[in-house]
Chain A
Amino acid sequence: MEYFTNFIDAVAAQPVFYLLSLALILSALMVVTLKNIFHCAIFLIITLFCVAGIYILLHAEFLAAVQVLIYVGAVSVLMIFAIMLTSQLTSKKIEQTNEQVTVAGLVSLAFLGSSMCAMLKTRWNIGEVTLPENNIMSLGKLLMTDFVLPFEVVSILLLAALIGAVVLARKESS
């Protein structure tokens, strides 16, 4: 992995970044515009893979692995399960988008313009940053020392989500 990221840094960071972002944006557009919701889920998986590639470019190897495991492995499969379970409603003749397409496009373009303006006007404190050598080890140490309280809270949140999902999706047994 180390060798791999060093290689990408040395040789091909820019072209890889542009290829990844092109694929990312195109597949994200497919996710929001395609008619068949199952194809949308497939393109969502491609989008999430591209985001994992972006993480590798940013030297966040553990996050890239987490992205592939949790998003591509779990969340997408969950989405596909939900699509399959509601499948007779996802046929092609059902309209998948509502009538506010132009308004929504204007809103998202306005958001994009304003955020780009804000980005260009802010004076970023950019500097030479040396990330810790061993990504996974430092993340684990941080999670067990500085961020141990949020870590525990997040575990309770996951437990609550688990129980909530079971309670919600269970059949009424009266």
Chain B
Amino acid sequence: MGSYIALAGVLFAIGIFGVLTRRNAIGILMSLELMFNAVNINFVAFNKYIATCNGTLTGQIFAIFVVVVAAAEAVVGLAIVLLIYRNWKGIEVDRINVMKW
């Protein structure tokens, strides 16, 4: 199980790096998807290897919910990105500074 969790940790760290370094809002959303996937790998691995999950599928159910929420987040995020693009003619997040607070 350790290797699966290590893999998920590496994937999550890569996602954090992407979120912090991207200037493009779509790039940030893609890094977010990486992080969601890392969390999902953890859920499924726990469901497979932790003894208290014997005979149940709770981890996989949670992973399905995470997938659904991630899809909703991607839809709303991309709609906001398109709106920002229409208003500012660009989606570089360091140029968009109307939300000061």
Within 8 Å by CB of B12, from A37, A66, A104, A111, lies A111
- Residue-wise, chain B 14-38 has the 8 Å CB interface mask toward A (1 for contact) of 1111101111101101110110010
Q: Establish whether residues B37 and A47, one from each chain, have CB atoms under 8 Å apart when the complex forms.
A: yes
Q: Which residues in window 59-79 of B have CB below 8 A to A?
A: 60-61, 63-65, 67-76, 78-79
Given known A44-B33, A86-B82, A96-B27, contact A131–B48 (CB-CB < 8 A): yes
Q: How far is the CA of A104 from the CA of B16 in the complex (A)?
A: 8
Q: How far is the CA of A105 from the CA of B63 in the complex (A)?
A: 28
How would you classify the secondary structure of chain B's contact residues: helix, strand, loop or mixed?
helix
B51 close to A (CB within 8 Å): yes
Chain A residues with CB under 8 A of B10: 25, 112
Q: Is the CB of A104 within 8 A of B20?
A: yes
Give chain A's interface residue range (CB within 8 Å of chain B): 35 or more
Some 28 contacts from A to B, beta carbons below 8 A apart, are A17-B3, A28-B15, A29-B14, A31-B31, A32-B15, A32-B21, A32-B31, A44-B30, A48-B37, A54-B7, A54-B41, A62-B60, A66-B67, A78-B75, A82-B82, A101-B21, A104-B16, A119-B2, A126-B1, A127-B54, A129-B48, A129-B55, A131-B47, A131-B48, A142-B57, A160-B72, A161-B73, A168-B79
A binding-site residues for B, Cβ under 8 Å? 17, 21, 24-25, 28-29, 31-32, 37, 40-41, 44, 47-48, 51, 54-55, 58-60, 62-63, 66-67, 70-71, 74-75, 78-79, 81-83, 85-86, 89-90, 94-98, 100-101, 103-105, 107-109, 111-112, 115-116, 119-120, 124-132, 135, 138-139, 142-143, 147, 150, 154, 157-158, 160-162, 164-166, 168-169
